Each structure stands twice: as C-alpha cells, then as structure tokens.
Structure 1
C-alpha cells in the first residue's frame, strides 16, 4: 500500500479533487504536485525571497517530513517552495485567489516577486487575493516560505507520530466575480426551517439576487439584497417541507447551490447542509442529562482518531483512503470519532457527513506557557477552525483543550513571580482557568448549535462545560468496575469531583472521552491483545444509566501505541468473539439496544455448581420501544473437541423506555467436568433478526487431581512444564507456569505413565490431547525485557521499543506465524500438525483468568489449537505391556508453545485418554 501510494504521488497530481466539497466553485486549478524545494534548517536565507538555487523537488500537499513528499526529512526550519503557473479565469475581470488548506506554521507568499500575504497557524485554511499581481495568460512564479521551528507558542497539537511541516494540505487557484459569497453558515431546526448567515464581499455598492437551490430543486428560495462596498452580513431563512433528518443511520444531505447574481457577475457555490439538532436533555425524573440527537438520546460509541497515515502523516494520500477511514469505523458499529488534538481535513469531514459518522473535533494545543502571545495565536486559529467547519452536520462537539496540555504555567515562570521564594511547580493557574472559561463561552457564542467542552481531562480539572467527561487507562476487571462506579457515584449537580478550584458540576451529561489499555500498565501495554479488556469495559459502561458514551483509544495503531481496532496500515485485528457466540462481532458491543451481563468476564467455579447471573437492559434508541424482544441464552462448553450444549432458555422482554433497567437473572448448572463454559446470550426482534449478542465464561474445575471429562476410560495428565528434556535455543515458562514456550526449532520430551494393570487390565486405545501453537520470538525473549517509563515524550513520538516490552504479545491479525510439529511416541512418528499461528485474543480465556497482576501482562490472551492423536494399534499394543512411553513434540523453525490446564483456551494439560 505504501509503495503504491508513493508511486502514485510521484507520477500524477495527488489529491486531484476539489479540497472543499462543502464549499466548491467550478473555476479552479489544482496546484498539488511537484514543486521546486529547498530546506533551510538554519534560516540562512533570512525572511525574504530565496535567492539560492532550488536543489530538490517536493510533492505538495505532503509535509516535508513525510515519505510521500519525496523529501522525508523531519527537520525544523524553513521550507522554500517555487512553481511556475499559467492560468486564466474563465470569466473576464474575475478575481484570482490563491488558497491553502493548511501550512505549518508561518507562511509568506510572493507572486512574481511581489509579496501577496502572510499567515500564521498550522491548521487553519487561508487565502490571498492575488488579482493585482497575477499575470493572466502568462507564466507566473509562486514562491512560498514556510517556517516551522516548533515554537512553544505554536498550536502544534499532537504531531509526534509524524510532523506536519510546511504545506500539508492542498493548494489551489480559484476565480470569483467581484461580488462573491465569502461564507455561509447554516443553522437548521427539526421543523425544517433553515437560517443561512452569509458573509458577502462586494467591490462596490450594488443590488444583487441571492438564490438557494437544494435537493434537485425540491428546496429553493430567492431574495434580493442590497450590498455595500466591502464586507456584508446577510441572513436568509427558508423552509424545507417534510424534512429528512441527518443521523448516522440516515445521513441525508441537502446538496445544492447558492448563487449571488449582480452587475459584478454571478458567483455560484456548491454546498450542502444536513438537518439535525444536537443537544442535552433530562429524561424522566433523572437529575442528569443525556446527549441528544434530533431530540432523542444517543449512546455515543466512539473512538479516538489520531488521523495519522504511515506515508502521508496527517495528509491522506487519496480521497478514497479518507472515505475508507470513516467506513472502517462505521463497520465496527461505532457512531462517532474524536479527532485528536487537531481539526480534520475537510474532505474527510465530507465523508463523515456523507456516510454518517458523528465527529468530536479537538482544537490543536500548544506546549508552552499560556501567556498572552500564545493565547492570541490559539484564539486566532480556533476561530479559523470553527468558521471553516461550521457547516458539517457530522460535527457535534468542539473540544477546546485536552488533558490540560499547554494550560500549566511552568515552574520557572511561577518562581520568577513568586513572593515567598519557595519551590514552584507547573500549575494550572486560576487566571488560566478563567481564560479557559472565556474560551468555552466564546465558542458557545459563535456556535450555539453544538456541545462545547472546556478541557477533556485526565487530571479532574474541569472549569465549565456542556459535557462532563474524564479519561482513564486502567486494566483489570475489578479495577475498571470500581473506577467507573466511583466516577458515576461522584457525578451529580453541585459535586466538586472532576473540577478545579471552586468550580462544581452542573447536570451536564457524563461520558468517558478516553479509555483503553494502551497505558495503565507497568511500562505501557506494548503490543498486546485488547479484546478481553474491551468487552468487560463495554459491559461496565452500559451498566450505568448515567453514562451516555465513551471514546476508546484508538481507531488504528500509531507509531508507538498499539491499542487500535486496526493496525496502522488498516489490517484487521481479530477479537475472537465469534468463538463464543456464533456471528458475534465488535458491533454487538456497540448496539444502542444492549444486554449487560452484570458479572465478571470469567469466574473459577466448581463442576456442577448452580449459578445465577444478573442481567440488565440498556436502551438508547426507540427503534424497538413498544415491542417484544426475545433474549435467547445457552450454556455450552467444549469437551475435548466436541461442543456440548447444557442449559438453555428464552425470555420474552417488553422493550420500553430509555436507559438501564434490571431484567430477570438467568440460572443454570455448570458442567460436571473440567471445562471452559460459556454463557452466550442473543437478543432478537420479532422477525428473528439479531439485535445484540454478549457472553461471559466460567473456568469450571472438576475437583480432582485427575482431570474430569465426559468420556469413558481413564485420563492421565502431564503438566506442560514437567518435560524431561528440551532442546530449544530459547525456552521459558509463562502464566504462572501454566504454559511453556520453545523458540525456533527444538523439542519437548515428556515421560508419560499409563494406569498399571491393577488399575486397568487392558489398554485398548490411547488418545493424546494437547493444546499447542507456534511461537513467535520477540526481542525480549532473546535479549531480555527493557522496562521504561512512558511519559509525555510518547506524545511526541518516542520509540515504544515494543518487542522489548514485557507486556507485548501480538494480538491475532492477518499476519500469520506458522510452525509444523511432529508427534513421536518412543521415537516413532505418530502424527504431524501445522500450527497456523501464534494467536492471542479473547479466546485465550485461561490465559486471562490466571494473570497474576492486573497491570503487568504475561502472554495474556495467548492460546493454541486442540491437537488430537489416536495412537496406532501397533503402538498401543506395546503400551499395553510397558504402561509408559516417551512423548516427543518436535517443532521446526516456527517454534512451539504448549498450554496447560491454567492457560490457553482448553482446560487440559498433555492428556492421555486410555480405554
């Protein structure tokens, strides 16, 4: 994928589409592609036009740090760009504008040697009217100077994964008549009324006709306006009959055109709007609010989107990849993404509008002190972002700051102003808190149609906000359950929890705005399975009526965080839920109508024990209200490769009302043998269609030193770590010695003793069972783990050294690691198996159940394949006499992992079934 993208960028115009599908004119010229370039890290040429020769070429619109730019140098400094362009507008006497999607950070532009303008800010769109210096019909030289020294006052955001340096969004020329529409902001209501607030520029005082035409003419409006010379504010209101509301389930857009006709020409802008209302409301007798979409509660199933591409960094190589990014989130059953510490590219926002994905958009942060110059730079850029993105119906929330980044005044500055001469610490000062409050209120004043959050916090330091969120990165079922419960109980109007200073909570909705198991571990999570943790965390969230959503970190892995639903290159991770409930996917955990199993993800209990499991219904949709839904359940287990169904039943539920309510518990008897038993539940509608699925597991103990399985004959078990000999170059045990590993080629040899003649007169048949997988060697398995603290440097791209991280055990994905093993009995080969992978996901139940420490993973989630060998009669005849044999499991270069009774997927050691 990466090589193909590089080739495409080098041989054609990258990103050829108009950059603003929400605000598009027909007469334009795309300036993406090859420009002459020179990188000046030391500012040797000063701030005027570059006089030296341009020694290289760059592919615009990609950051000069990114591979797709053709430069690939992550150096601060000044980038000089030059390109010769010949272009004439279609209409005579038109104005000519040079437009930039974004340039990081300070930008100066010259046309034919004359300065066209300057702009500061790394994320905002800007333009220059170059009409007076553009030579129509002749060659023009465009010179751009982009300065990026990572100053602390810059609104840098979270660029550590890959820096945006210089031009990093499209560049284009565009013509307009002398009277033109600068901007239109649509405010829609559920009754179909639409208010369009327009900013119109006119070269002189003139009469004009303003026309709106949408939905192929089904929506139209026209009125006459008088324009004064300069900038005019015009408001127009029109009605949409039988409005179709926008939502993730039905993302209808009213696409069309606005025209401004005057004696200075006709300006036509293609645009669109979606009719929807975002709000918060109380329901019933609750003293807290939920988030609403179109007047109804919406449960926000979301993910953090770093919006990072491995070759283009913050710039996607193609429009198709931006569309696919929204699709990848949507196929998981998610209904929103939080764009992290930056605004999104307009074309990706367009695909969110078009495909139906709600967006929580962050403002980019700065990393220095919140002093006056820094505040001014932030305020300027925040205005550009909200102005640009106002019309996207997908955006439901603005987040003004994240985790107090940039809001603390450093210790040195505080010490300089301190009167007591004491030791100072970096502090979120009261005056900064008041500035944040003013930013929240400013954002509400310029955009009252959306939810605004002051600071998405991890330090319990909110000031004033429309929504009450918090971050946590905690691993372990009991720890997550206790933490979420504590937050819910401490959240109520007037509570000082999660607030700083004298501020207290309002009745604002409660939701989580960052969670996951990428942090919360000793030395970070490395690259480990997340499926088990994710499922019980979803259950804990949906258990609480007060909570209305979450943001999981994150959509894709990034360069040093591996907690994504997908790999960075888009490869799928396999969560393994279908191994418990047929057809179950991640989307089942994101259903607006959900069944909470209010119990641990796995419990260790005795065979035959009677169990009662509490259940809750959680509904944030009225789709099935007033209907009867059927909750089917069954208890099943695997008996040495055979699926056995135990108790089962169905419960008819009257599905009414929003929120969380108790329903009748399910009671059943556990199997009377060693087993991993699964309680699988499926909620169906009246037509039998699946609404949602869920499950929990039980580690069922047979209660004997000898394993108990449902079969005739006797069982002999040998722990996998009780080998008599091993020849691997790298060998170690894991999961409290429940598992043994051999790296590269080698063998494990076991002494197996069968029942003697006094216990069993005749050995007629011997079946061998064991659970095995290949073994992928990591650097830490060979060289040892390297533990390191994960600090703020990770926000700036520090190397995760993932293969040295003690928590790393790669989650099951598309990349397979095979190994072939031979099974020998007393030196005679009796079977051979191809172990297709070294998997780790939720199916490794026992590898989770027997983790010793909640925040230190030991090959968690790892499991193997059930291997069954029926020994040939010739071998069995010998064993009838000897009653003992040497079992050899010999692996090729792919290595071998063996899972015992307390590890993996199956509750078995190396088992000989003797009949």
Structure 2
C-alpha cells in the first residue's frame, strides 16, 4: 500500500484492504474498496441523461464496494436485477512521467462501462473474469478524479450465472484498485514446472517502443535466479525462457512449498517488478502394475482425492467473502478435516482464496460458471470468452489440479418439439471445448462435463454423481459403476463415445438429494462413514467429492454449519480419538461390512478387512492393526474380544487382509468393532468401526446387571400431557414437546414383592425434545419445493426428514423424576442430539429414502429409588413413575424424548432393576 493510499482512506475503514492478487502484485497500487455513491437506473435513463458526468452527490445511496448490491454487507441489500451506477472521487498523484495508470476490477456482474472525469475508459462483459482499463490519459494527477461505473445484470439466459440462486452477485463483487505500471511492463506470464526443477515461462510484454531489456527472475531469497536478454518492439512482445531449480522441493498438500519472489523487467533505466510465486508439482494419471485403468497422480505418485464441494457462499457477502481471514480460515478448516481437495463449484474463486489454497496446501478443482439457457450462439460465445479469462487469470496457481468445463449438463440441453435433449451438435461443442482447454493447459486434468446423466463425451476424468441413502442401495450402486467401468465401455458416455482408461472417481456424492424431499437438516455422520468404506474398498476408485463443505441456504449436509460452527460426528464415542479425518487417511482400513447388523448374543462371526493405500509413507514397514469388540455396560466399557495383527505395508491400492473372527457379547447390547492402524511408534494412522445390534430371545432382555429386572416398553405409559406428543421409529420412541409429563404405572413381578427387597434402580435413555414446525403442523405429508436455483430458502423445520445434527447449539431440558408423587431426582438433559451415536435409530429406519428422526438418541440415566419408598412400593405391588418437564426455568423447558429397545443408543426399554 502506498502512502497516497493511506492518506485517502484509513486502512481500518477499507473492507478487504489486502492486495487482491498475491500471485501478481505490483508495489504501487491503491485499493478503492469502501463507500461509493450508488443509484439504481430502473428506466435506463443514465446514459441519455449523462450520469457519468454528474457529481457524486447526485447518487442518492451509498454502497460498500466490493460487495454485490444484493448482499447485506453492501449496505443496499436489494435483489432487483437491472442497471445501477457507482460513483467515487479519488485523489492519486503517485505517478511518474511515462508511467501508466490502470483501473482494475476483480469482477463485475455482468456488463460494465467505466468513466474517469467524464471520459469513457473501457467496457467489459462477463460476471467472473478480472479486467483492467488504462486510465492514464483521463487521469488528473493534481486533483480529484471522478470515477463512474455503470453495471448491468439482466439475468439473460446466455449469461454465465452459475449458482446465484443462493445469493446474487449483481454489480461489483470483487476488489477495485488502481495500479501503476511503467511504459514497458510485463503483461502476463504462464509458469510450467517439472519435477526435475525445470521452470518454463512464456509470457507477454507491452512496450512503448524498440528497447533492449532484461527479464530477471529471482525466487527463494535469491537462491533461484535467472536473466534473459530481450529486444522489445512497440506493442505486444511474446517471450519464452526457462531455468533450473536445483534440488527442487515439490509442492503437495503435505508440504505446500512455494518459491516466492519477483519478476523484473529492466528497460532503459526503468523497471517493472511483480511479486509472485510458483510451486513445483505435476498432476496427471498413470497405469500401475498390470492394471487396465489409470490412477490420478500427484508428482507421479498415486494420490487419493479426498474432496468436498464448496459452494463458496457467504450469508452476508453472498459470493464475496467478508474478509481475507475468512478465506484463510476456510482452507484451514478443509485441512482440519483431513481433506486434500476442494471442488469450487460453478464459481471461479476469488484469487486470494486460491492463494491460501496454494499457501496452506489444498488441491483445487475449479469449475467454469454455467449458463441456464440453451446452448445457442450467444451462450457459447459468452461462455468461451469467460472461460478464457478465468483460465488466464488462474493458470499459475499450483493448487489448481483440474478444470471442470461443464456440470451436470447444465446449459447443454436443447428443447425441440417439446423434447429436451443433449444434442449431437452440442456434444461436439463440448468435445471442442474440452480439447481447447487441453491445448491451452496440458498440465492439468480436464473434465468435459461432471455428469449426473451418464453423458461424458471426451474427458481426462471418468466421474459420476450420486445422491443415495441406505447401505445396500449405495453399495450396489457403487459396485455397478465400478463393474461397468473399463476401456471400451459405453457406460457413462453419450453419443457413441466410449470409455478410455481415464481414472474413475466420484465428483459429487452424499445423501442430501437421495431422500424424498431431500434430507432436510439431519445427521450426515452415519451415511458418510459407510459411504467412505464403500468407495475405499474398490481399487479402481481414485477419490470422491462430498457435497458439501458447509451448509448452504437449502442444503444442510455440510461438514460445518453455514456460519462455520462445528458439527459433532460422534466417532470418538466408538473409537477413542477418532474424528472424520481418520476416514480421509491415505492409508486406510476398510471394514467390508454393513454399518450395523443384527446378530444373536454370543454369536461367532468373521469380519472382512481390506487395506487401501495411496501413499508410500509406510511402504516397506510393518504396521500393527489393533481391534477390539466392546459394548457399553450401563455406563462402563466392557470388552468382549480383542486382538491385533502385524501387516507388511507394501504397495499401492486395495488388498485383502486376514479376516477377524469375533465372539459377540452374551448380553443385549450395541457392540462396537473398532480398529486402529498404528505405526512403529504407536501413533494412530487411521481408525474405523462398525456396530452390531446384539439381541437375545428374552422379551425382558439379557443384561449384565446384578439381581433381576423388569423391562417396561416406553410406549406403555399410563398417561401423558403435552402440547405436542407423538411416537416415532415404529413406536419405539416417545416424544413430548415443551412442558408436560409422561407417567408409567409399573407393576412389579411376584419375585420382587418380598421382604428382602433392598435396592431398586430405574434405567432409561432420554434426551430433550426440540419441537419443530413439522411436529406442530403434522407436515410429513407436505411437499416441499426445493428449487435451489430460484433462490428459495425452505424452512428446514418443515422438512419431514429434518432432525438437527448435533452441533455447538444445544437444546437442554430439565426433567423432574417423581415416584408415587415424591420428587426423587432432577435430570439435566443437555441436548436433543442426532449423530452416528444414534445407532439403533439409524439401524431401524423404516425406509432408507425417507428419514424418521434418524440418528437421534438420548443419554443413559440411572435413578436410584430411595430406601424410604421401597417398603410402600412393595406393599402396593408397584409404583407410579412420572417424568415431568415444567416451565419453572423456561430455558430448560425443552421437552422429553424416551427411547425404547429399537431406538437411540442403548438397546433397552425402561428397566427396573431390583435385588
């Protein structure tokens, strides 16, 4: 930032004050973000009335640049499409004789014209590309300069809009800045790196005349230096050169090393210096051993792409991140999950986010933005122009490993005679576009169309999308795709085109749309774990892209909430220390079994295990696989079986391990088979687990309890009073909303009615119960329109599948337990949770494609009956148990959910133990 900049606008008042292009930064620049005059032009009067010449005071509103006029951060917050004008007075005098001044726009949606002091300086069309105008001749270095911008966004069908249904990006939506360049300057470069350290650079230099010049490359603190002598002619000068980096340090997500430095053009006493960087890496694919299919490679080694889809939407800024800190934090949070890839969806990202991906180490699939009309000449022309701008802008980011040209055939359908189809001529345009991208950038993997309609044409990646729920449904689907994928197959291709040996990976997956009316806002932890197991058990699979990074306005299946807050997957309750990152380990143990299976007490069975390795870190080493079978014994851990095996960890890909034979517990329980892979230092490399519903034939259940017990089904209550009350999960769960009570009349068996009875305890599983609008309105039969591109924001409370996944927001309740009218205990129920710990609520879902309070569970409670009440209970032959939530403390009046044998986390009804 120059001294002139700080004198015009205090740094603290400038939103996003950082230079927007860390990959291409000159030192003399002025950030123009901040308050601009603003005015809508609904009747398109501005040009005729020459608003470009009016003073800023005539612009009747104030907008905060660089935020879309629709977004809250802009200060306008108006969703109207059409025309708007911006105005700003700027003083900037730090320009030497012969230098050029450029007005830069990170992006403006969709078309714009700019004036300086009433003189038109340029026009641009396209919503995502960066551009600049030379304003030297119009600029007044000795006074104020009046900047005016007219932006127009009419949502034309040929526009490259992308997924702006989440929130529009009308008008200026990325940083605006001034930049000083000398008369002779470097216009652009493309950097191609090789693993041997060869750095090949091509580029363009603009010159004011015939000049002798020197191009200097200096990186890594001067340890990498190269000079090239050039003779420039007036105008555009193309050049190419190369140099060698000795003992190159390669870029990867594990070691995202950047060679930072400068490119300097010295000409006749003047110089143009650009701060930039590069990373040495190669992305591609290769055949390994005797396989007929390729794997994706990074630096010529196989890499498994653990990825997620990023809609890159922010509630307050829409497609513009509120701050650079937010962008940095996003990349950190991706890495925290153990991911190595992000697919930035239908939105070329802000360059600073790509910078943090470069710097912190996340591979990027970057989508081109789509249009929503038909692929006519106007749409094709607009798309091609924007694709060129995007590829040119982002070419040098080492994090970008793939360009996705189209998505799900959006914009590629033509309707003729009432029939909508992906026509042969459009398929050829897609092929030509793929080949253009490949010729422009042979260093990256290019995907023609990321498909949900089985319609590849020509591609470097054989990908597909699925949104399915239910273990068997998903397992069979993935198996079918793998079986039908081989060179020469016509599966997943259209128009007579056939598969090559291109790598197979999934480019969108999850359960958000695999459920009737969508999954609403529900637990993703259960399905996610078995989905990863199914993907990792196939040697042919090279990776996945999970939908999605964080929740958006109508898709709540993110790893994080839309505000960045955490969701609790609950995995560490099954394997100590386990997190979702364990499922993303390049060295992974596949448990080839359902997520839960019903078995008999004491049953002996075999569990199949596989090793999946896409890293050579432990190759040649002996690793130890530890396993145990355990269950919860009313609050304490009981290990039923355990063991270990040494594994010679050699080679890439998927291979079978020795099966493990286990003996199930002798009691009704949820048994957990947990595995941990450790290195020779004892560090955990990856963890995994499956569960079993262990059942006896005893209607009272068999439990590891002293004495005897009586099992009372939770739905066998005598009475209840709640504003809202209903059963769920085939009547194995009883819900009462807000304030009220449920009451049981418990009749003791004859063997309990003896004088020696000394102790009595009551066990049950209970949680709080948040009442949603669907619960109040019985909305399970309501159809919910989830047209996400229309900007609809459905209320998740109305979705029949919604049961909020456990997160940082808690919903507590206070339950008063009374026996025969005597208050014996008050129970704090901390939450109404739903995640992978709700094993039985998942296992006994009535229908895979329609969720019913899925993953919900409670907390195990033990209430000791006071000794003073036992004699009266024996005398009466039973007692009245009341669980009550009252309104004494409104914040704790969160209702009550009682879980029975086939619901929740614990395989019990209401148990009365006596001895």
TM-score tier by shorter-chain length is over 0.9
Q: Go from structure 1 to structure 2 and tell me whether the alpha carbon gap of 1:339 and 1:831 turns closer, same or farther (over 3 Å shift).
A: same
Residues 310-329 of structure 1: pairs in structure 2 closer than 5 A = 310-329=315-334
With 747-756 and 587-596 compared, the bigger mean Cα shift is at 747-756
| 8 A Cα contact 1:492 1:506, kept in partner | yes
Structure 2 CA distance for partners of 1:206 and 1:757, relative to 1, 3 Å: closer
Which residue does the alignment assign to 1:419?
A: none
Among candidates 487, 499, 509, match of residue 503 of structure 2 = 509
Structure 1 position 712, deviation (Å): 2.3
Partner residue, 1:552: 546
Q: 1:58 aligns to what? A: 63
> Can you list the C-alpha shifts for 1:615-656, whole angstroms capped at 9, x where unaligned?
000000000000000000000001122210111001000000
Q: Which moved more, 1:55-64 or 1:43-52?
A: 43-52
Q: Separation in 2 of the partners of 1:91 and 1:604?
A: 80
**Which ranges of structure 2 fall in alignment gaps of 5 or more residues?**
1-8, 887-892
Q: Distance in 1 between matches of 2:517 and 2:850?
A: 9
Q: Which residue of 2 aligns with 1:479?
A: 473
CA contact (8 A) 2:786 2:794 kept: no
2:907 is the counterpart of 1:904 = no
Cα deviation, residue 171, structure 1: 0.2
Matching of residue 666 in structure 1 with residue 671 in structure 2: no
Q: Superposition pairs for residues 363-762 of structure 1, below 5 Å? A: 363-409=368-414, 411=415, 414-415=416-417, 424-757=418-751, 762=756
- The whole-number CA distance in structure 1 between the counterparts of 2:643 and 2:142 is 79
Q: Which of 194, 208, 224 is matched with 1:189 structurally?
A: 194
Contact 1:41 1:75 (C-alpha < 8 Å) held by counterparts: no
2:255 matches 1:261: no
1:862 corresponds to? 856
Residue 757 of structure 1: how far off its partner (Å): 4.2
The answer (yes or no) to whether the contact 1:681–1:693 under 8 Å persists in 2 is yes
Three-state SS of the structure 1 residue aligned to 2:421 is coil
2:883 to 886, 889, 893: 889
* Displacement after TM superposition at 1:41 (Å): 3.2
Counterpart Cα distance in 2 of 1:233 and 1:675: 73
Name the structure 1 match of 2:890. none
Query: Which deviates more from structure 2 when the two are superposed, residues 803-812 or residues 40-49?
Result: 40-49
Q: Partners of 1:70 and 1:764 in 2: how far apart?
A: 71
Deviations 1:42-101 (A, max 9, x none): 424347742772110000000000000000001101110000111023433210000000
Q: Shift of the alpha carbon at 1:788?
A: 5.9
User: What is the RMSD of the two structures over their aligned residues, measured on CA atoms?
Assistant: 1.4
C-alpha contact 1:9 1:33 (8 A) present in aligned 2: no
Show the counterpart of 1:5: none
1:302 aligns with 2:307: yes
Shift of the 140–212 alpha-carbon distance from structure 1 to 2, 3 Å rule, reads same
Residue deviations 1:292-344 (CA, integer Å, cap 9, x gap): 00000000000000011110111111111000010111100000100000111
Counterpart residue number, 2:97? 92
- Structure 1: distance between partners of 2:602 and 2:860: 24
* Secondary structure at the counterpart of residue 469 of structure 1: strand
Whether 1:334 and 2:335 are equivalent positions in the alignment is no
Whole-angstrom distance in 1 between the partners of 2:140 and 2:296: 53
CA deviations over 1:582-631 (Å, ceiling 9, x no partner): 00000000000000000000001110000110000000000000000000
1:876 Cα deviation from its structure 2 partner: 1.4
Name the SS for the 2:627 alignment partner: strand
1:855 Cα deviation (Å)?
0.6
1:760 Cα deviation (Å)? 5.9
User: Which of 238, 241, 262 does residue 233 from structure 1 map onto?
Assistant: 238
Q: Which residue of 1 aligns with 2:31?
A: 30
| TM-score between both structures, scaled by the size of structure 1 | 0.97
1:67 aligns with 2:72: yes
* Cα shift readout 1:365-413 (whole Å, capped 9, x = no counterpart): 000110111101100000000000000000000000000000001x2xx
Structure 1 partner of 2:170:
165
Q: Could you give the per-residue CA deviations for residues 764-789 of structure 1, whole angstroms, max 9, x where no partner exists? A: 11110000010001001111216566
State the 1:11 CA deviation: 7.0
Q: Which residue of 1 aligns with 2:845?
A: 851
1:807 paired residue among 780, 801, 807: 801
Tell me how far apart the structure 1 counterparts of residues 837 and 389 of structure 2 sit (CA, whole Å).
48
CA–CA distance in 2 between the matches of 1:341 and 1:316?
Answer: 16
Counterparts in 2 of 1:319 and 1:775: CA distance versus 1, 3 Å:
same
Change beyond 3 A, Cα 1:335–1:832: same
Look up the match of 2:6. Answer: none
CA contact 2:38–2:85 (8 Å) conserved in 1: yes
Question: CA contact under 8 A between 2:754 and 2:874: conserved in structure 1?
Answer: no
Q: Give the Cα separation in 1 of the matches to 2:644 and 2:609.
A: 13
Task: Name the SS for the 1:455 alignment partner.
Answer: strand
1:797 to 791, 802, 809: 791
Residue 89 of structure 1 contacts residue 96 of structure 1 at CA under 8 Å; is this kept in 2?
Answer: no
Q: Could you list the per-position Cα deviations for residues 685-720 of structure 1 after superposition, in whole angstroms to 9, with x for gaps in the alignment?
A: 001010000000000012111111012211101111
Change in 2 beyond 3 A, CA 1:765/1:786 = closer
Does the aligned pair in 2 maintain the 1:720–1:900 contact within 8 Å? yes
Alignment equivalent of 1:209, drawn from 214, 217, 223 = 214
Is the 1:157–1:342 contact (alpha carbons within 8 Å) kept by the matching residues of 2? yes
Aligned counterpart, 1:248 = 253
Contact 2:626 2:677 (8 Å CA) reproduced: yes
Contact 1:523 1:788 (8 Å CA) reproduced: no
Alpha-carbon offset, residue 882 of structure 1 = 2.3
Cα distance change of structure 1 residues 9 and 875 upon mapping to structure 2, 3 Å threshold: farther
Q: Aligned partners of 2:495 and 2:422: how far apart in 1?
A: 10
SS at match of 2:746: strand
For 2:779, what is the secondary structure of its paired residue?
coil
Cα shift readout 1:145-166 (whole Å, capped 9, x = no counterpart): 0000100010001111110010
From 66, 75, 79, give the equivalent of 2:84. 79
User: Displacement of 1:223 after TM fit?
Assistant: 1.6
- Contact 1:523/1:787 (8 A) holds in 2: no
Give the superposition deviation at 1:264. 6.8
Contact kept, 8 Å, 2:753 with 2:877, in 1: the verdict is no
Which of 102, 111, 115 aligns to 2:116? It is 111
Give distance in 1, aligned partners of 2:734 and 2:852.
12
Does the CA-based 8 Å contact 2:752-2:874 persist in structure 1? Answer: no
- Which of 151, 156, 162 is matched with 2:156 structurally? 151
Query: Do 1:787 and 1:804's aligned partners in 2 also have CA atoms closer than 8 Å?
Result: no
**Partner in structure 1 of residue 4 of structure 2:** none
Counterpart contact for 2:900–2:909, Cα < 8 Å? yes
Q: 1:47 to 1:365 in 2, by over 3 A?
A: farther
CA distance in 1, matches of 2:259, 2:635: 56
Give, in whole Å, the separation in 2 of the partners of 1:543 and 1:137: 69
Residues 164-197 of structure 1: per-residue CA shift (max 9 Å, x gap) = 0100000000000111001111100000000011
Q: How many residues align?
A: 897
Q: Is the Cα–Cα contact under 8 Å of residues 95 and 101 in structure 2 kept in the other structure?
A: no
- The one of 266, 270, 278 aligned to 1:273: 278
- Aligned partner of 1:766 in structure 2 is 760
Distance in 2 (alpha carbons) for counterparts of 1:394 and 1:711: 57
- How far the C-alpha of 1:830 sits from its partner, in A, is 1.0
